[in-house]
Amino acid sequence: MVRAEIIEEVPISMSDLKSELKRIKKRDGELTPRSMKLEDYLNHFNEITKKDHEELTAEINKLNIPRLKEIHVIKIADIIPATVEELKSVLQGYALTVTSDNMKKIIKVTKKFTS
């Protein structure tokens, strides 16, 4: 039996994951059933291009919000909340406190990327 060792955990955006699945599909010719389900999910929920995702994460990072880490920024850019309440829902799974003013700043940025 092969043992896998986790060396490092790096957050990956849904856009990056979608690109990686395309690369694997091109390489292998087809995806595994689990990967096909993931691809369907990403096609259904990922409404932002990789370029826009990178721009959005860069703009959120420029806000210099205390305690907001890369994993939080990527999750915000994946979900693209349109209201403070939606942003609270996105961040409630993390042990993180963001002030109301900072949340409003984030929403101001995300609204640029919503359709």
pLDDT, tens only, 5-55: 888 888 999 988 998 999 999 999 999 999 999 999 998 887 788 899 999
Phi, psi of 112 (to 5 degrees): -65, -25
Average pLDDT over residues 79-103: 93
Instruction: Give percent of the chain with pLDDT exceeding 70.
Output: 99
| Cα separations in angstroms, 66 against 20, 60, 94, 99, 105 | 31, 12, 14, 9, 13
CATH class as words, domain 50-113: mainly alpha
User: Rounded to 5, what percent of the chain is helix, strand, coil?
Assistant: 65, 0, 35
> Does residue 88 register a pLDDT over 70?
yes
Query: Of 87, 86, 77, nearest to 50 (Cα)?
Result: 77
pLDDT, tens only, 46-81: 778 889 999 999 999 999 999 999 999 999 999 999
pLDDT of residue 115: 62
List the domain boundaries for the chain. Answer: 14-45, 50-113
Tokens linked to 115: 């359709």
